[in-house]
Structure 1
Amino acid sequence: MGASGDLAKRKIMPSLSKVVEKDTEVYAYARSSMDTTYAIKLREFYDYTDDFPERVKYFKGEYNDLSSLKDIIDKDTFMDHYLLKPLMICLYGMKNKLSKIFDKMSNQNIKSVECFFIESILAEGRAYFDQNGIIKDVMQNHLIEVVASLLYDETYIFGQYKTYCEEMNRKSETETFAAFKCTVNNKTWKNTPFIMVAGKGLSRKATEIIFNIKTDNEEIQLAVKENANAGGDYEEIFSSLITNSFLPAISFKEAKELWRLFDKTLVCNKTPLIYYPIGTEMLEEAKNIIKKD
């Protein structure tokens, strides 16, 4: 899905080419008219050593009508590469190896949980990002899958790096930074705040989960962090799918529920935006949300 997009051409298709066998059928679906030029476009973005681009079968269509794929799709599973990022693989392994610690993780022992997805790169003038912003780009899929919970929220912070409108060559109120606090509605985590932060144009690239452990007189944190240079999650997800090995995924029903939860955030008033210079470590307003818990 979205096969004509930058992500598919730069990362997904090259990753697929490394793991699929010659007799594996690959279908590409998008709204753009690229039926006869798709293979040419793929080769513009990656140096393929075989005929993989020519083997990809391209379908043009709208996303509100997938009838042209009715004979192809037989499962409603959504695979997000984020669930197989090195950070998440590490977390799955830690839960097994450090089970005594993770068994104690609940509202009885954890003061709060912080999830970060921050980048130093900018929006790079992408029209898609300007139409959707950081919440839809990262939070409603990647970060919320990390939290993987039912939530409600009242505390939002929205920001935009100062040169964003100049980069887009137009006035825009699209957020490039968002932070909010949510509460998980289950027995284990009830009343434990989960703080989610995502942003572009910051001082570093990081994906982190931080557990703030309750103690009487000192601060203790368990931090799970991803190596900034780690990669390979696209190859991992396709390899896992083909070999029928460990593959964390969500169903269409779950994906739909995640989108529903974020609908209120997507349409809420995001002004006034907090404008921050490129290279900022963290917005002070976001730090205040974290400090309160």
Structure 2
Amino acid sequence: MTQSHADRPLLGILLMLGFCVLIPFSDALAKLLGGVFPLLQLIIIRFVAQAGLLLPLALARGAVIFPSARVVRLALVRTLLQIGGISLMFSALRFLPLADAVAIAFVMPFIMLILGRYILHEEVGPRRLAACAVGFVGTMMVVQPSFAAVGWPALLPLAVAVIFAFFMLVTRQIAKEIDPIALQGLGGILGLPILVPLLLLPELGGTPPLIGWTPPPDAGALWLLVALGITGTLGHLLMTWSLRFAPSATLAPMQYLEIPVAAVVGLAIFGEFPNGLALIGIAVTIASGLYIVVRERNLSRAAARVATPAPPAG
């Protein structure tokens, strides 16, 4: 089911906002569970949820799962990028506070702007670039990451940023050629044949190991694993959907809203309380995101007025 959708920036921004709310909760679950379960097990659960929840839904909607060889090839690249990005982020969360890991990864919007301009030839105006820069300043005020303090794990979120910048650009290439639910379901069924055979490898790493499978010790842990799969799946579905309706360069500044959400989640679950400077940074970040929403709404209205033909004189 190949569809063609005109860009609708405000809808894309709202969908990206949903992504920015859900993913910090998913990361918090990964941080909690990462001390009990092997890394590979958590990643497999994410992909089982993707395939198990979204593939039946896509089929029920009449979506085509394999619309073309080109889409499947790019979906495989997208899946490999997703596996790499999730693996590195979950690894970073074993070492870093939630908000720190998210903040360090927020060099990604700048990478997105550069790639969007020079690879996809998307228009990146000075106001959007300025809003992105202001959002980055706010991010640095929320959490002041110290590479000297955390050591080499601080590099992991930087790698995540690069990987997910390419992930989002690949998604943008195929998002209008395949139903978004079908795309996520396809990612699940492409990822599992890559991940499951890795369970045959010997255990690697510390406690818990990176590779292995640990049965849930109680019902609470089981439900947390289920929640990890659901929140991650729904969050990335919203991100995929957002790219159907807005260019990646438009959505890049909106992702800064993930920072204040991560700060709130970190406070609620891990007792990480932002200091005064960080609270100011949250305000700056939100203001930057709201500026983008208002600007895109005004541009959409102006474009609609231009596109509406004048009534014939009579």
The structure richer in strand per residue is: 1
The structure richer in helix per residue is: 2
Q: TM class, shorter-chain normalised?
A: under 0.3
- Please report the TM-score for the alignment, with normalisation by the length of structure 2: 0.24
Q: Which has the higher contact order (CA 8 A, sep 6+)?
A: 2
